[in-house]
């Protein structure tokens, strides 16, 4: 049953992400509003799921549906934010490494690939 909750949540998250990009595609400013919106909204939903909903309801089902499924389909930035937030509370150095490698590593990979292909 766990796979079903992840599947449904992920599908809904992906469809919502696509819908958001369609709504915001004709933005007058040259800025990735849909991506920013998805990242912020997914982080909000993840925070609500972790801190508000799961303490009161069935944690396993909600985590699978909202955190792994919906937020995973909508944006992986929410997971990055949560894991980095947890690291900041326990090990700031590791949090900074996580931020640096994630952001600059990802950009570096894209830059390298753009030169080679």
Q: Any idea which residue has 């992906």 for tokens?
A: 14
pLDDT of residue 58: 66
Its pTM stands at 0.73
Q: Where are the domains of the chain?
A: 2-116
- Sign of the four-CA dihedral 5, 20, 42, 54: negative
pLDDT tens, residue order, the chain (117 aa)? 899 999 999 999 999 999 998 998 876 667 778 888 888 898 888 888 888 876 776 678 888 998 899 999 998 788 899 889 999 999 999 999 999 999 998 898 889 888 876
Nearest alpha carbon to residue 38 among 6, 82, 72: 72
């Amino acid at each position: 049953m766990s796979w079903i909750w992840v599947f449904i949540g992920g599908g809904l998250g992906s469809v919502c992400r696509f819908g958001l990009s369609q709504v915001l595609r004709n933005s007058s400013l040259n800025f990735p509003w849909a991506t920013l919106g998805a990242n912020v909204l997914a982080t909000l939903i993840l925070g609500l799921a972790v801190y508000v909903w799961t303490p009161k309801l069935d944690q396993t089902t909600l985590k699978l549906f909202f955190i792994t499924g919906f937020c995973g389909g909508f944006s992986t930035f929410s997971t990055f934010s949560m894991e980095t937030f947890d690291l900041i509370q326990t090990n700031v150095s590791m949090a900074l490494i996580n931020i640096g490698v994630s952001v600059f590593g990802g950009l570096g990979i894209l830059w390298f690939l753009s030169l080679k292909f």
